Amino acid sequence: MAEESPQILTGAQALVESLERVGVEVLFGIPGGAILPAYDPLYDSKVRHILVRHEQGAGHAAEGYAQVTGKVGVCIATSGPGATNLVTAIGDAYMDSVPMVAITGQVTSQSIGTDAFQEADIRGITFPITKHSFLITDPAEIPHAIAAAFHLAITGRPGPVLVDIAKDALTKSAPFVWPTELDLPGYHPITRPHGKQIREAAKLIAEAERPVIYLGGGINRARAWDQLAELVRLTGIPVVTTLMARGAFPDSHELNLGMPGMHGTVAAVGALQRSDLLITLGARFDDRVTGKLDSFAPEAKVIHADIDPAEISKNRVADVPIVGDLAEVLDELNQTLADTDLPQYTEWVHQVTDLKRRYPTGDSEPVSDGLLSPEYVIKRIGEIAGPDATFVAGVGQHQMWSAHLLPHERPTRFLNSGGAGTMGYCVPTAMGAKVGRPEDVVWGIDGDGCFQMTNQELVTCALEGIPIKIAVINNRSLGMVRQWQTLFYGERYSNTNLKTHLVPDFPKLAEAMGAVGLRAETLEEVDQVINQAMAINDRPVVVEFVVHKDAMVWPMVAAGTSNDEIKIARDLAPKWDEEEL
């Protein structure tokens, strides 16, 4: 039912009013000509606008905010280059199913399609990497578009939604009518699982001898951690947690085998390969997990539960497909399993936990060739900051060490770019996470390569009072690429030497941006600078750790090969069948 005698508002006022009504607390963005009308009413609004230094930063900050709060993250940019600067972050949010609304200004409706100044068809550009998008040319459409965008972003499989608004739609006026119902034909995400499929799943679990719970990032989006804990308690089935699911089930639990995949633990990879049943929850059989698909978990039947029906049987055919919200799926599955006679899986659990004991990950000497080992540094940050801190990783070797070595005990405490692998993710995402959970200690673990892509957001953090801590793991190279050159290109290091022993001087750069800059080069300095950083709460801090460049991430399954070929060091394969008790 429409409100009586609606107020007449400009499109810009309607936009801000709509954002307030959907409960937006914070926006990350930069103004410009096409979006400028919206910035005027924003000036008087209680919605906080954080003025970033680059739109990519706005997008990632929205992702960080969304992941820690469970709310929709919002970024805003002008037309043309402002909008295209958001593209990487929108793509990142799409790949990792992060709820985000991106608002962009567009040239006036009459100019669309004329190559007008700062025109870009952002809807066309982002079409394949958004869950949905709107192009608004009539101010009367703004309230519905905003309400719909927020609903679409967070329901079903979450993802980014674009609202592109022509400048004249912002300046013209129309009655403000807040929708009481959303008109979204064909959009009916299924949250309740089918009872028959739940019974089928319970039957397979009861028949299995070597089951594994293969847990993906969907568990975080569904916030179904309690139900998952109950499933493990009821069944005693071992769990592997993908990169996106680290922390959703505590690492300290004896049944947690760690991360599977290209840089997975021997126990997680081995368990999947030998399993006879994968209980797949919010995971998508990504190639970084499966390796060569046709040799992945060859004997396993598959139960696959996901909110997005398009995921099921996309890469691996499911024997029992279950479409639904994981919280509801697990509630029903747990109820059914509580009344089912289940085997003990004792021999199997013994086998996989023995692998876990024999092949721990990331043991390294603190110093090698007189330089710090990156693994040791990351481990110490985790130990000193503790499992309640929020950690954000960049992309590269430091990301993989972070995935293995930080204390992953609690959900939504580890954010990273899993699907897209976006360098430049760390600093702005950490900024957004700190805005979402200001009481948390937020540590970004970044590479010297990644850091140089988006570090300017430290200026934003300094000016906006967002005291994040960034560890730059400086190995003077694009480490992960260099690792591939070492292994697959005969040590021909083409264009991976960043020369960051020459420039920039990271602590000085940090100081110039209003942050505190620290550096550790020796073993004694490691704890000292981490503790120093922990004590600073009024400004951002950057700590450079000068580490050696030859450390490699192990274990590793080379791209395109079978998980059976996992190596724990160069030319060293695990001994699977060692009879050892």
- Residues forming the active site: 55, 117-118, 167, 480
Quick one: which segment of 44-52, 148-156, 269-277, 441-449 binds ligand TPP (CB under 6 A)?
Answer: 441-449
| Residue with smaller CB distance to ligand TPP, 286 or 448 | 448
For residue 450, state whether it binds ligand TPP (rule: CB under 6 A): yes
Residue 151 in tokens: 């609903």
One-letter amino acid of 386: G
For residue 240, state whether it binds ligand TPP (rule: CB under 6 A): no
For residue 480, state whether it binds ligand TPP (rule: CB under 6 A): yes
| Least gap, CB of 427 to ligand TPP (angstroms) | 11
- Nearest Cα neighbor of 407 from 256, 213, 225 is 256
For residue 481, state whether it binds ligand TPP (rule: CB under 6 A): yes
| Least gap, CB of 221 to ligand TPP (angstroms) | 23
| Residue with smaller CB distance to ligand TPP, 131 or 398 | 398
Residues 331-390, interacting with ligand TPP (CB under 6 A):
none
Contact 464, 434 (CB under 8 A): no
Contact pick of 96, 308, 325, 448 for ligand TPP (by CB under 6 A): 448
Contact 300, 276 (CB under 8 A): yes
| Least gap, CB of 419 to ligand TPP (angstroms) | 11
Contact pick of 302, 303, 423, 430 for ligand TPP (by CB under 6 A): 423
- Nearest Cα neighbor of 209 from 277, 264, 255 is 277
Contact 278, 212 (CB under 8 A): yes
For residue 398, state whether it binds ligand TPP (rule: CB under 6 A): yes
Contact pick of 447, 507, 517, 540 for ligand TPP (by CB under 6 A): 447
For residue 397, state whether it binds ligand TPP (rule: CB under 6 A): yes
| Least gap, CB of 434 to ligand TPP (angstroms) | 21
| Least gap, CB of 424 to ligand TPP (angstroms) | 6
Residue 241 in tokens: 């947690």
Contact pick of 422, 455, 460, 563 for ligand TPP (by CB under 6 A): 422
Beta bridge partners of 320: 303
Residue 433 in tokens: 């996470």
| Residue with smaller CB distance to ligand TPP, 395 or 566 | 395
For residue 449, state whether it binds ligand TPP (rule: CB under 6 A): yes
Contact 14, 139 (CB under 8 A): yes
Quick one: which segment of 60-68, 181-189, 477-485, 558-566 binds ligand TPP (CB under 6 A)?
Answer: 477-485
Contact 416, 403 (CB under 8 A): yes
Three-class DSSP category at 506: helix
Quick one: which segment of 40-48, 328-336, 442-450, 554-562 binds ligand TPP (CB under 6 A)?
Answer: 442-450
Quick one: which segment of 65-73, 341-349, 391-399, 557-565 binds ligand TPP (CB under 6 A)?
Answer: 391-399
For residue 478, state whether it binds ligand TPP (rule: CB under 6 A): yes
For residue 504, state whether it binds ligand TPP (rule: CB under 6 A): no
Neighbours of 491 (CB within 10 A): 9
| Residue with smaller CB distance to ligand TPP, 497 or 522 | 497
- Nearest Cα neighbor of 161 from 115, 98, 205 is 98
- Nearest Cα neighbor of 42 from 15, 23, 80, 63 is 15
Q: Rounded to whole angstroms, how far apart are CA atoms 475 and 459?
A: 24
For residue 241, state whether it binds ligand TPP (rule: CB under 6 A): no
| Residue with smaller CB distance to ligand TPP, 60 or 157 | 60
Residue 440 in tokens: 């948390």
Per-position x/- string for 515-534, each x denoting binding to ligand TPP as judged by CB under 6 A, each - no binding: --------------------
By the 10 Å C-beta count (0-12 exposed, 13-18 middle, 19+ buried), 548 is classed as middle
| Least gap, CB of 397 to ligand TPP (angstroms) | 4
For residue 540, state whether it binds ligand TPP (rule: CB under 6 A): no
For residue 201, state whether it binds ligand TPP (rule: CB under 6 A): no
Residue 131 in tokens: 């869950």
| Least gap, CB of 445 to ligand TPP (angstroms) | 9
Q: Rounded to whole angstroms, how far apart are CA atoms 470 and 518?
A: 10
For residue 473, state whether it binds ligand TPP (rule: CB under 6 A): yes
| Least gap, CB of 472 to ligand TPP (angstroms) | 9
| Least gap, CB of 449 to ligand TPP (angstroms) | 3
Ordered DSSP codes for 157-182: S--EEEEEEEHHHHHSEEE----SS-
- Nearest Cα neighbor of 327 from 193, 158, 494, 452 is 193
One-letter amino acid of 239: V
For residue 479, state whether it binds ligand TPP (rule: CB under 6 A): yes
Contact pick of 104, 227, 475, 563 for ligand TPP (by CB under 6 A): 475
Residues 6+ apart with CB under 8 A from 51: 29, 30, 460, 464
Q: What is the DSSP letter of 411?
A: T
Q: How many residues bind ligand TPP (CB under 6 A)?
A: 20
3-state SS of the chain: helix, strand, coil percent to 5? 40, 20, 40
Return the C-alpha torsion angle 446, 448, 450, 453, nearest 10.
120
Return the C-alpha torsion angle 429, 435, 440, 443, nearest 10.
30
Q: Rounded to whole angstroms, how far apart are CA atoms 216 and 225?
A: 12
| Least gap, CB of 480 to ligand TPP (angstroms) | 4
| Residue with smaller CB distance to ligand TPP, 159 or 374 | 374
What size, in residues, is the chain? 581
| Residue with smaller CB distance to ligand TPP, 82 or 447 | 447
Q: Rounded to whole angstroms, how far apart are CA atoms 539 and 192?
A: 46
Which residues bind to ligand TPP, rule: CB under 6 A?
Answer: 394-398, 421-424, 447-450, 473, 475, 477-481
